Amino acid sequence: MRAHGYPMHTSAGLIAARIIAPIIPPSMPFVIYGVTTNTSISALFISGIVPGLIMGLGLIVAWKLQLQRIDLPEGTPLPMGERLQATAKAFWAMLMPLIIIGGMKSGLFTPTEAAVVAAFYALVVAAFVHRELNLRELHEVLVRAAKTTAVVMFLCAGAQVASYMITLADLPNVLSGWLGGLIESPRLLMAMMMITLVLIGTALDLTPTILIFAPVMLPIAVKAGIDPVYFGLMFVLNGAIGLITPPVGTVLNVVASVGRLSLHQVIKGVNPFLITYVLILALFTVFPQIVIAPVAWMR
């Protein structure tokens, strides 16, 4: 995108905004949420299909609106022959997600081991299939990977400190007392929970948010008559939005590091997509049947 003249902040925003993976099955956050709250993981997987597609559509619309403000050459469509050649060249890259998902679903390796398999597979394909990676470039790749990993680890350390302070302050129980009075108004309760989680997402990563707050909030939601699967979908979606919400925003920092951009540039570029996701979150809050109806039908 840099080579084709796209504004870097807009390009980085688009790449950072692809947070649909925690919603589209198979989703590791759904697994963590399901185990933590004793909610059906298969039902959570089903609940993410329609919202994930809606998020994808929202991402397309937001990007189309961004393109209207970018002065780019029109370009010419590729002939079908060149498209097929490009698809064939991309075969080995497209095989990676199938290997990762297939390996985890079959029990061949764990999600952590899948990261090792993916890195080794990418190294082999880049070096021996595409022949785009020599020893000198491998050294540069490893150094950049180490720097990016260091940034993420510092963020995780900060999130752990925040998690410890939240637990020490007994914030989950305080939060339970605040929200308990809204049980008679399920929709208002849901709206307040979503606003609270948006604020929490600015300081905590997705996994600590699930582990700390999901067991506290879910019983309140169920007592108010809110479907537990629907609440799980909304909880994870909100946490995913937190990945691109400053100041912590793990994904923002990774994109800034990999793209060699300032965090300010990435935040500026991601804002239109962040607004789109918040609007989608509000849509699901007002019309929960968008999530609940497909789950009931598929069951």
Q: Which of 197, 261, 269 is nearest to 16 (CA)?
A: 269
Looking at residue 133, its pLDDT comes to 83
Percent with pLDDT over 70 in the chain = 94
Looking at residue 216, its pLDDT comes to 81
pLDDT tens-digit profile of 89-137?
888 888 887 887 788 778 888 767 877 888 899 889 988 888 888 888 8
- Annotate 129-154 with b (16+ C-beta within 10 A) or e (fewer): eeeebeeeeeeeeeeeeeebeeeeee
- Work out the angle at residue 240's Cα, subtended by the Cα atoms of residues 236 and 245, and round it to the nearest 5 degrees: 140
Average pLDDT over residues 79-88: 88
pLDDT tens-digit profile of 16-42?
998 898 898 777 888 888 888 888 888
User: Which has more pLDDT, 2 or 276?
Assistant: 276
d(CA 298, CA 60): 26
Pair 183, 189: CB distance under 8 Å: yes
d(CA 70, CA 203): 33
Supply the DSSP symbol for 38: T
Looking at residue 15, its pLDDT comes to 92
The structural domains of the chain, with segments of one domain joined by +, span 8-68+145-298
85-89, 99-103, 177-181, 211-215: least confident range: 177-181
Q: Which two tokens stand for residue 146?
A: 């180490």
Q: Which whole-number Å values give the CA distances from 268 to 10, 174, 275, in the listed order?
A: 8, 34, 12
Is the pLDDT at 274 greater than 70? The verdict is yes
78-82, 192-196, 202-206, 242-246: least confident range: 202-206
Is the pLDDT at 57 greater than 90? The verdict is yes
Looking at residue 157, its pLDDT comes to 73
Q: Which two tokens stand for residue 81?
A: 């022959």
pLDDT tens-digit profile of 126-162?
888 888 888 888 888 888 888 877 876 776 676 667 6
